[in-house]
Amino acid sequence: MESLYGDIVRFMEEYFMAYSQYGQLPETQHVMDKFYAPDLTFDDDVVKSRAEWYERCLAHPAIQDKLFVEHLIVDERQKEVGALLKTQAIERATGEVLLELKMNVLYNLKIGADKDIKITKVKVFLESDPRKAAKLVQLYSIDSKAKP
């Protein structure tokens, strides 16, 4: 059996870059179809579909989320990737980093016979600092009311 490790790592590296650059803008968000399965779900009982996730990604037009990979763990057999990420909430108008926090994310993958990889399920575990959590809620609550 041929190893898919390199393919999975390349896919995930492309994904983090694409999400940070294209996934939060209406004119380029379609690029994310390459990464997300049509039946994408999140393990939070809030986001239940790819379309809903896309809406959420556009709900904060003044803020860009930027993801930086600190460590990846690839499990080929279970088709899962664990990622330790640093995320920044950046004000688009000024480039100012408004918030930085760490998160662990578990991605379930679907891998086709042609090595076509898609993310099917996402579980996010945010840094537990209550001050950062409050700032996160504040930033995205306020910004979600802003007009694009």
SS3 state at 62: coil
Share of the chain above pLDDT 70, in %: 93
What's the pLDDT tens digit per position in 117-136? 999 999 999 888 888 888 88
Between CA 4 and CA 78 the distance in angstroms is 12
Q: How many CB atoms lie within 10 A of CB 114?
A: 6
What's the pLDDT tens digit per position in 15-35? 999 999 999 999 999 999 999
Alpha helices in the chain (DSSP H): 5-21, 50-58, 130-143
How many angstroms separate the Cα of 4 from the Cα of each of 105, 107, 120? 20, 15, 17
Give the predicted TM-score (pTM) of the model: 0.89
- Does the structure show a pLDDT above 50 at 148? no
What's the pLDDT tens digit per position in 86-114? 999 999 999 999 999 999 999 999 999 88
How close are the terminal C-alpha atoms of the chain, in Å?
48
SS3 state at 136: helix
132: alpha, beta or left? (left if phi > 0; alpha if psi -120 to 50):
alpha
